[in-house]
Amino acid sequence: MREADLKYKKLVLVCTNDRENGKECCSQKGSVDLHQKLKQAVKAVDLQVRVSRTGCLGNCLSGASVVIMPDDIWLGEVTEDDIDEIIQLITS
């Protein structure tokens, strides 16, 4: 093992999990498109931020779920309408 030589200052995780048997989950609430659009928005402002898809964050009933690290900001009920506010959170 070695320490990774990463260039990112922040990591934004967007849950795109799809639960079995139609159980409520983030993918049902548009999180796959949310991830793509948030990634594009971050890239457009040239932030040193990695936006990655992730599995379940344990907040399925209040998805779509997003986490901003290392700021330890946990968000629920996130939609594409929140992208500008997320950019502000990342840059503040």
Sites of contact with ligand FES (CB under 6 A) = 15, 17, 19, 25-26, 56-60, 63, 65
| Of residues 19 and 50, the one with the C-beta less far from ligand FES | 19
Question: Both tokens of residue 14?
Answer: 């967007």
| Of residues 17 and 87, the one with the C-beta less far from ligand FES | 17
Q: How far is the CB of 86 from ligand FES (least distance, A)?
A: 16
Q: How far is the CB of 38 from ligand FES (least distance, A)?
A: 15
Residue 4: C-alpha distances to residues 7, 20, 38, 54 (Å): 9, 34, 24, 19
Q: How far is the CB of 66 from ligand FES (least distance, A)?
A: 10
CB 50 within 8 A of CB 12: yes
| Cα separation, 61 vs 52, whole angstroms | 21
